[in-house]
Each structure stands twice: as C-alpha cells, then as structure tokens.
Amino acid sequence: MTPEARQYDWFSQNQSPQGEAGPAKPKETPRKDKNRKLPAGPELLSAIEEYIKRYVVLPAAAYLAAALWAIATYASEWFDCFPYIALVSAVKRSGKTRLQEVLEPLVRDPWRGTAPSPAALYRMLELAPTLLLDEVEMFNGNNKSEPTQILLAVLNAGHRKGSTIPRCEGPRQEVRQFHVYGPKLFAAIGRLPGTLMDRSIVIHMRRRSRTEQVGRFRQVRAAAEARPIHEDVDRYVEVHRPDIERAYQQVLEADLVYLNDRDADLWTPLFTICSVVDPKRLPDLKTSALTLSGIKAGYDVDDSYSLALLRDIRVVWPKKPGEPDPAPPQDKCETAVLLEKLKAVDESPWGEQQLTARKLARILKPFEVEPRHLRFGERTAKGYLYSHLKAAFDPYLDDLRETCETTQ
C-alpha cells in the first residue's frame, strides 16, 4: 500500500505526542522506528494474539484467526478474495464492539463506525480502508429501506477483488465505477443476511463469565501498546511480499479440500499469511477453520426466544432425587424428558411452537450447548449435560449482573 493510497494514520488521529487522547499535531507525529529489529514471524503472531486476549474473551478457535486476519489486511490487495469477519451474538453486551476497538489500531487503515450513507460508503471504500462496521442489525429486517438495500449491495460485492459499483457523478451525470473491495468486519446481534454470512468468517461472541478476567480497555493505553505491533506488521508484510505471493499460489494449489468452495476462498488469505509467518501453526489454523466454518448454521432463531428458552430450561431442569431441599440439579437430562417438561410450562410458547429435538439443538447452538449421546441407566439416548447449560446460565441469566466490563 503506497503512502498516497492510505486513508489516514490512525495513531496520529487518536493519540497526541504526549500520549493523551485528542487530535495530534501533524509536525510532531512520531515516525516509525525503522532501526528497531524486525521480530520473527512467530513472535509477531504471538504478540497480536496476546494483545487481543488482554482485552476480550473469544472462542478458543478465534484468536489465531483474528490475529492472522489483522496481518492479512496489510496484504489484501494481493489476494483475489478477502474474507469478512462477522461478529454475532445471541444478545447485547457480548464484546463485539470491544473486539472492534481492540483490532482498530492493529489493522491497516481502519475506519470504525456505524450507519454510513451509501454515498459515503462507496467513496470511502475507494481508499481501501479496513472497514469495522458496528450495529448492522438494520440489514436483518424484511422491509429494508432503499438506502439499506444499497448498503447491503455494496457490501455484498466487496469481498472480490475488482468489484465495482457504478454511480453517476458530476454535472453531466457521467458513470463512474467505484471500487469496493477490501477488508471488512461486521458486528450484529442475532443474525446477518445470508449473503454477508456466506462471505464471512463467523465468530460467535458471548458474555464472559465471572471467572474470565480481561484488562480494562483504555484507548490511549491500547494505542501505545499496539503502535509497535502495527509498525512491525506493516514492515513485515512489505519485506516478505515475495514470500506471501509465493505462498498464496501454493495454498491455491493445495485447495484446502477439507472446506467447501466458498469457505476455502475465505480462508485462503489466512492460510497464506500463516504459511509465511509461522508454518508450525498451520495445524492449529486448520482446526480453527473447521470449527468456525461450522458456526455459520443455526442463526435463524430470534434471540428473545433463545433467552426465554434458557430461563425455562433452568426452571424445569430435574433435581437429584433423595437430596434435601433445595436439591441440586441432576448432572444430565434426556432430550425427550426436557422437551416434555418445557411444553408443560404454563404460558410458555414451546407447545405452540412445536418445539422438537432438532429445533431445541438449533436454538441452543449459539450458546455453545449441544446434545450428545449419554447413558441413562441401561440405555443410551440423546441428552444435555447440566455443566454445559450452566456455562450459558451464568453470563446470560444472572439478574444480579447488570453490567459487563466487556461491553458492546
């Protein structure tokens, strides 16, 4: 990326020379320390992962993917296709905005915000920023306004290199093609349109539990921590451009056959970067790709029903027999028994909604709760473990917990 094509220097816009928040003085903007030794690839990748872990809790499979995506934004113009990142959650306050704030000083030329107009968006995308777009629930409605439909069309087109949007400009209304390709990250509660999900690596965000501690995020401090990493990544990608271009061809030839065609396209830039930065992590990346690719299903359920279901499961979950009152919950429950108890709850929607074992599993999947084969006496049947459900009860249903430091 040439200096002329850069959108702006994020650090000069967000940190003063004295390290305080506010606009920086251009003449005093600190220069990159080109004399500092460039770290080895594994060291650089580890630094990014640790920086992310310091401030936000992600699924285990997502840290490596997020770190490699941040590096890949500096080389996006060398790929034919670049993945979006979709941050989705069942409810609010699950850390989506926090992850955007954490990634902002790491990626190339970031623009973070909400609800740009279509005209602003496609003009801005001409500068090829890394777009970090929050609160995109507006795309979920059935009756989308015309501007919303245009925004969605622009974003749908932008994951393929060479994609353009035609618009008429000037007194003569001459047609101009606006380039819209580039790295993009979206955050939404619930689901995204299938077209965006299909172009994205999906990270399901959840509220962290009380035992999961993270550092308090302060933009000025985070900017100071991220600046050397940002500069090292920028230099590393430029120095290793021949290696990245060569690795790209090798990954294309390998074809990532364990992923479907669309997901293989999306993950190719990340496998390319990993092949250069730290080849020993390729098996870990394969595990991440298979895990996160499997999360794309199951986002067709309204989150209000999800929380209502969790509440009712906690109420009807069977207790251990013979224990003094209040008896502790049983360790496991058969799916058929749980369904029967749920449908018997007064004024519940579960009987009317014809809740089945498959629907139950689909609603609980975003909470990382899945049925499994369990032994009940002399027989085996599908059921749920209380320990897995409790991991969802604690962050989502604790009425005493009104706030969460990992805020949206």
Pick the CATH number of 3-23+30-296 from 3.40.50.1220, 3.30.70.120, 3.90.79.10, 3.40.50.300: 3.40.50.300
Residue 353: band (very low, low, confident or very high) from pLDDT cuts 50, 70, 90? low
pLDDT tier at 15 (50, 70, 90 boundaries)?
A: low
107 touches 70 (CB < 8 A): yes
Q: pLDDT over 90 for what percent of the chain?
A: 43
102-111, 197-206, 225-234, 303-312: segment of lowest average pLDDT: 303-312
Q: Quote the pLDDT of residue 403.
A: 31
Q: What confidence tier does 14 reach under pLDDT thresholds 50, 70, 90? A: low
For residues 9-36, one letter each, b for 16 or more C-beta atoms within 10 angstroms of the residue's C-beta and e for the rest, the string is ebbbebbeeeeeeeebeeeeeeeeeeee
> Out of 2.30.29, 1.10.10, 3.30.1330, 1.20.140, which CATH number does the structure's domain 303-397 have?
1.10.10
Residue 23 has pLDDT above 60, yes or no: no
Least confident range of 43-52, 102-111, 266-275, 395-404: 395-404
Is residue 369 within 8 Å of residue 389, measured between CB atoms? Answer: yes
Between CA 11 and CA 220 the distance in angstroms is 10
Is it the case that residue 5 has pLDDT exceeding 50?
Answer: no
Is-same-fold flag (3-23+30-296; 303-397)?
no
Residue of 363, 389, 360, 354 lying closest to 299 (CA atoms): 363
Residue 22 pLDDT? 41
Strands 130-134, 184-189: pairing is parallel
Mean pLDDT of the 3-14 span: 55
Q: What is the pLDDT of residue 406?
A: 36
Cβ density class 177-205: b for 16+ within 10 Å, e for less: ebbbbbbbbbbbbbbbbeebbbbbbbbbb
Is the pLDDT reported for residue 13 higher than 70?
Answer: no
> Could you tell me how many residues make up the chain?
408
This prediction has a pTM of: 0.69
Residue spans of the domains in the chain: they are 3-23+30-296, 303-397
Tokens of 13: 């816009």
Residue pair 274/300 in contact by the 8 Å Cβ criterion: no
Residues forming beta bridges with residue 86, ordered by sequence position: 186, 202
